[in-house]
Structure 1
Amino acid sequence: MQPTGNDVAGLIARASPAIRRRDAETLTALLQEITGREPVVWGSIIGFGSVHYRYPTGTEGDSGVLGFAPRKAATTIYLFDGVDAHADALAELGPHTTGVGCLYIKDLEQIDLDVLRGILERSMAWVEAGGTDQVQLTVTG
């Protein structure tokens, strides 16, 4: 995936329903603070920084160090280190669902933002440390 050059504010403005727009603005500010990087649109994802990933299978590509997408059903937060790495924190987060590497949140006002911050900070540290033998990560921006 590559940055599209699309406008972050425009992507947020088009998000629906209105709660996704509100949450996207909150997450954009939070992720900017955590990463120290500006938001960039990667397809339909708002990413912060950039990382090159490579799996033992040879699959490789580029993505944001941290990122999220304001989807209609829920906001999707992407975690390179997977949700299992955050099991204890997720138990304290509040209402959410998960996939292997995705955290789905329907309303940020119903979760503990300090817990979310900790999850995001730990995930970013894992990425910046280079991943594991299952995925090699090189931060490029």
Structure 2
Amino acid sequence: MTVDFAVYNGTTGKVATTTFGDTSGPVQITVDSSQIIAGLVKTVECAKIGSRIVGVMPPKDAFGSQGNSNFGIGAKDVVVFVVDVIGVAPTKADGAPQPAPAGFPTVKLAKDGTPTVTIPKDAKA
């Protein structure tokens, strides 16, 4: 997703960090709890482009029992995210299949969009 966001310490009301008005512009995030905090995934996972979403999360869904001292968020602080969804990247290929030229690798897509590449046996490195 491409998003602009603000993070607030829900206990103090202070802005922890924001991309709104930042000269570097919106940021790209991967909506996957192994890559970003679980509460943010829960907040944006079904969002549509153009949405503004507010997520309020307990510490366990935000920064865990350690908090985040860089953002001024303690271990027991609730965290509030305000997220504007600007873009969503497709999760699988879209369009009509195109045949590969003779001798080129071929790609077949599973129903979930996972590609399988087959390289011809007589192909040279």
**What's the TM-score once normalised by structure 2's chain length?**
0.24
Q: Which has the larger radius of gyration?
A: 2
More helix by share: 1
